[in-house]
Amino acid sequence: MGKDKENLEIAKRYLDSVREAKLNAIAIACRVKELKTTSKKLIAVYQMESVGGSNKKMDISDYVAKIDEEVAKQLKAMQIYAKKEQEVKECIDNLGVEDKVKRVLSMRYLSFLKWADIAEICKYSLAHVYRLHLKGLESILIKKRPN
């Protein structure tokens, strides 16, 4: 892979970091939901055993601690996502390129639209959307290049 192509991949990875942060937050949210559903079942079983007069106590404190830990991870993941989204949005907004380039980058990397959908919404050909995208990536490389 040529140096230019490698650099463009770096710019894409930077922009895609928003999607990765969002997907991570969603995955953690799913785990939290699953844990909460399971905890409701455990509580129901615990209550049935308490009513039934069983002397053995169910210890669900570890499970509750795990839920608390996952909720804390969820909050942190959402904060990371919000911060990354804001960072990339500001980066795109501050690029010294035409608004249509910024729009394509925003639609792709902040709204997570497919290339065909971007082309349709903007009334551009797919090839033109790709050209605008490339121009945006090159602009990001220039902006992010260390001095």
Domain ranges of the chain: 14-84, 95-147
5 φ/ψ sector (left φ>0, alpha ψ -120 to 50, else beta): alpha
Are 70 and 35 a contacting pair, CB within 8 Å? yes
Q: How many residues would you count in the chain?
A: 147
53 φ/ψ sector (left φ>0, alpha ψ -120 to 50, else beta): left
Which residue type sits at 40? K
User: pTM for this one?
Assistant: 0.77
| pLDDT tens series, the chain, 147 aa | 577 888 899 999 999 999 999 999 999 989 888 888 887 777 776 666 665 555 555 567 777 788 888 889 989 999 999 999 999 999 999 999 999 999 999 999 999 999 999 999 999 999 999 999 999 999 998 876 654
Q: In 3D, which of 142, 147, 125 has the Cα closest to residue 14?
A: 142
Rounded to a whole number, what is the distance in angstroms from the first to the last CA of the chain?
25
CA distance 14 to 136: 12
